[in-house]
Structure 1
Amino acid sequence: MGHEQNQGAALLQMLPLLWLLPYSWAVPEAPTPVWRDDLQNHTFLHTVYCQDGSPSMGLSEAYDEDQLFFFDFSQNTRVPRLPEFADWAQEQGDAPAILFDKAFCEMMIQQIGPQLDGKIPVSRGFPIAEVFTLKPLEFGKPNTLVCFVSNLFPPMLTVNWQHHSVPVEGSGPTFVSAVDGLSFQAFSYLNITPEPSDIFSCIVTHEIDRYTAIAYWVPQNALPSDLLENVLCGVAFGLGVLGIIVGIVLIIYFRKPCSGD
């Protein structure tokens, strides 16, 4: 009897959430797409999440698992992951819907979270980190290191960079995005000018259990700048000569008189 009363009390506490449902249904729906056989299906993920840890609120938007934007709730604006997406990030037409999602998510945490505390196991994923360059490696030329973090759940992490075991300042923001299966991935960027003796490390700390993943990067198989330029010039020259030869052959072929039967 006492258990049933507790369940009834929990349901009564959830009733105030029902007033939000008509508003959520009132959000305009996108027109139904007309699919053709020659078109491929693509996935656009608009994922809102909230949690007790940091960050307490998040929104990510991805196209076929490639993140486009995350939402900075302190400034109420989209932040593009790449400069090419900056113009699209200025669109604010859906700001009311985003603020509604934020309020709804926070109320769910406040109203339902305490009722489920200790009753549902906490799902965790140990993050996996790897580091690579954004462009082909050339010593002495500016480049960007990318720290890619996968198998992340919940999305509570801090990312720090070190150069020869010394902390590095000036890294960009950490972009967190959702992927299929309700897990998350993250990207952190660091602008560098690589040298042969460099040793960089990306240190990822999972805040929920203080688990730490470390990925190292050292220069490998770099092409000297002058060698790369010579190789590209040689390839371009070879293609030019080949084009001239093919052109001459075609001219001779089409100018040859046709033999009569």
Structure 2
Amino acid sequence: VPEAPTPMWPDDLQNHTFLHTVYCQDGSPSVGLSEAYDEDQLFFFDFSQNTRVPRLPEFADWAQEQGDAILFDKEFCEWMIQQIPKLDGKIPVSRGFPIAEVFTLKPLEFGKPNTLVCFVSNLFPPMLTVNWHDHSVPVEGFGPTFVSAVDGLSFQAFSYLNFTPEPSDIFSCIVTHEPDRYTAIAYWVPRNALPSDLLEN
């Protein structure tokens, strides 16, 4: 009887990483959970609302799945936070400085709705405040900050601001790292706007 062939899997099916990361800290947020696939965030968990929040609308159905693991994660984190005073001096401290970048989610076209993305990298621990300014005036109405883990005990964050770009725009994303009060500022001014006929092509 001939032997069955050994299945051959393409390399791209063997080298993927799913991260289910829970972080606890004596700061805000005190507990967080993010889930990422190959460092692309899929969900974060909003413990105040007890819901999984999808990064993209396509993941909304998966976000409905709960599970006892998340409740265990929260209880474990709350227990860990109570132990923090006993672990003083043994917890990793802030390292490096956050780096902020701002770019548009879609190609720039004046007068057409778009979204500004503030990407924060080199973040540890993940305690930060993100604010947006338009011509140095605070902007209201931007969404929550999405925090996710990356390899090497580091984090990244995304903040989104919906807007309609105009040639005179000057937006800034102001990131304050809470532990050391370090502030990173990234500016966005319109450049290289694409004409409508090129976008249509």
- After superposition, the Cα gap between the structure-2 partners of 1:54 and 1:38, relative to the gap in structure 1 and judged at 3 Å, is closer
User: Which structure exhibits the higher relative contact order, with contacts defined as CA atoms closer than 8 Å and separated by 6 or more residues?
Assistant: 2
The size of the alignment, in residue pairs, is 201
Deviations 1:90-141 (A, max 9, x none): 11234xx1111221122123235x2331355624231000000101111111
Q: Extract unaligned runs of 5+ from structure 2.
A: none
Which residue pairs with 2:83 in the alignment?
111
Which residue pairs with 1:210 in the alignment?
181
Where do 4+ consecutive residues of structure 1 move more than 2 Å? Answer: 27-40, 118-121, 224-230
- After superposition, the Cα gap between the structure-2 partners of 1:150 and 1:70, relative to the gap in structure 1 and judged at 3 Å, is same
How far does residue 197 in structure 1 lie from its aligned partner after superposition?
A: 0.7
- After superposition, the Cα gap between the structure-2 partners of 1:198 and 1:30, relative to the gap in structure 1 and judged at 3 Å, is farther
1:52 has 2:23 as partner: no
Point out the structure with the larger helix share.
Answer: 1
- After superposition, the Cα gap between the structure-2 partners of 1:189 and 1:122, relative to the gap in structure 1 and judged at 3 Å, is same
- After superposition, the Cα gap between the structure-2 partners of 1:33 and 1:197, relative to the gap in structure 1 and judged at 3 Å, is farther
Q: Distance in 1 between matches of 2:11 and 2:176?
A: 46
Contact 1:139 1:225 in 2 (8 A): no
Point out the structure with the larger strand share.
Answer: 2
TM-score (normalizing by structure 1): 0.70
Query: Which of the pair has more CA radius of gyration?
Result: 1
3-state SS of 2:11 partner? coil
- After superposition, the Cα gap between the structure-2 partners of 1:67 and 1:33, relative to the gap in structure 1 and judged at 3 Å, is farther
TM-score (normalizing by structure 2): 0.89
- After superposition, the Cα gap between the structure-2 partners of 1:110 and 1:229, relative to the gap in structure 1 and judged at 3 Å, is closer
Deviations 1:39-70 (A, max 9, x none): 33210000001100000010000000000110
Deviations 1:220-255 (A, max 9, x none): 10023256447xxxxxxxxxxxxxxxxxxxxxxxxx
- After superposition, the Cα gap between the structure-2 partners of 1:217 and 1:36, relative to the gap in structure 1 and judged at 3 Å, is closer
- After superposition, the Cα gap between the structure-2 partners of 1:29 and 1:204, relative to the gap in structure 1 and judged at 3 Å, is farther
Contact 1:125 1:154 in 2 (8 A): no
